Amino acid sequence: MSNTEQRKTRHLDICLNDDVASTLEAGFGAVRLRHEALPEIALEDVVMQTTFLGHTLHAPLIISSMTGGTERAGAINRNLAVAAQAAGIALALGSIRAAIENPELFATYDVREVAPKVVLFANLGAVQLNYGVSIEDARRAVKAIGASGLYLHLNPLQESLQPRGDTNFRALLPKIESLVRALDVPVVAKSVGSGIAPSTAQRLLDAGVAAIDVAGAGGTSWARVEGKRSDDPLRARLAEQFADWGMPTAHATRAMRLAFPNATIVASGGIRTGVDVAKALALGADLAGMALPLLEPATRSPDAVSEALAEITEGLRIAMFATGSRTLANLRGALLTPEVSG
């Protein structure tokens, strides 16, 4: 097993069994939606359908990137894909770097046999463009799994806490721009649990990325994950010092929408329920992403994932009904708290 495969396996164990939550709240507890006592619609009138980068979704959800590159990860990805297709939502896979290094591992990301119609995103660490991954490698990876787009994640904090992490982020933006121009599918730029500031988003949007996933603080802390994976006591202590690092998801989402009224924005990081999804959409997100609430069900079966997704989507439906929001667009007017403190 390669070092990358070993790391992915250990990541799964840590996320399933250890407390790796950010010590910073995602901020949704401070968000209040207007309760409409006389909604003048029926619950069955609520419409959650939306479009995301040209794809129709039955609900404004994406299963955020989790895993890939091991046999165990392959089973998890297939369970997620089957459930995502059944629910009519999108799925982003874990980093495909392992398969670029070892093509035999592409099978752990290949979910098209079980979910031929799912809206699917490959995923790659942007910094890998400075470590030998070429545009052709990315193009081949996207094609190999039949991806509808590519998530490009930005994780300087995580890399700095990994043993021998890839920390050379020099002159990366021009390479991102070249990759965006070369691919035939849209590219989404994503943080890894720390958020993306509007000034950074501006550079990424100027480079041509199709959407920004704020991936703010309040969910899984990848600093803490790396700290628990490390055998180095110094690294473990340093990781805990960054346990509350970053911009809370609610704040990051609101700031992004205010800065970019017309951009495509995904909110992820600490979103756990359908009510959280409703709040994220009211703050300005087009889509909400979640990972950890679906990881344990995905180790069991597609049906277990479907049950978890059904609870989330029903919570969103009821939140929309209780705010008098027949459509997702109506939710924007249901926000009672115009500002969310960070």
pLDDT at 43: 98
* pLDDT tens per residue across span 180-218: 999 999 999 999 999 999 999 999 999 999 999 999 999
Strands 61-63 and 287-290: parallel
The answer to the question of residue 97 being in a domain is yes
Query: What is the distance in angstroms between the CA of the first residue and the CA of the last residue of the chain?
Result: 42
Query: Hey, how many other C-beta atoms are within 10 angstroms of the C-beta on 44?
Result: 8
Instruction: Say how many C-beta atoms besides its own lie within 10 A of residue 285's C-beta.
Output: 29
Residue 341 resides in a domain:
no
Query: What contacts 196, CB < 8 A, 6 or more positions away?
Result: 154, 189, 190, 204, 212, 213, 214, 215, 247, 252, 256
Q: Total domain count for the chain? A: 1
* CATH code at position 38: 3.20.20.70
- Give residue 12's pLDDT: 77
Q: Maximum Cα–Cα distance for the chain, whole Å?
A: 60
**Residues 143, 145, 148: CA angle, nearest 5 degrees:** 70
Query: Does residue 340 lie in a domain region?
Result: no
24 is a domain residue: yes
CA 223, 218, 224 angle in degrees (round to 5)? Answer: 20
- Domain assignment present for residue 339? The answer is no
Stretch among 4-8, 86-90, 121-125, 319-323 having the lowest mean pLDDT = 4-8
Ramachandran angles phi, psi of 134, nearest 5°:
-100, 170
Structure-token pair, residue 116: 């031929």
**pTM surpassing 0.75?**
yes
Residues 6+ apart with CB under 8 A from 319: 33, 274, 275, 277, 278
- Within-domain flag for 39: yes
Pairing of strands 149-154, 211-213: unpaired
Element of type H or E holding 213 = strand 211-213
CB 282 within 8 A of CB 312: no
* Over residues 51-78, mean pLDDT: 95
Domain membership flag for residue 105: yes
For position 17, what pLDDT does the model report?
A: 79
Instruction: Return the half-sphere exposure (C-beta side, CA atoms, 13 A cut-off) of residue 81.
Output: 29
Domain coverage including residue 295: 3-334
Kindly indicate the confidence band of residue 163, based on its pLDDT and cuts at 50, 70 and 90.
confident
> Is residue 124 within a helix (H) or strand (E), and if so which, with residue range?
strand 119-125
Do the domain assignments include residue 153? Answer: yes
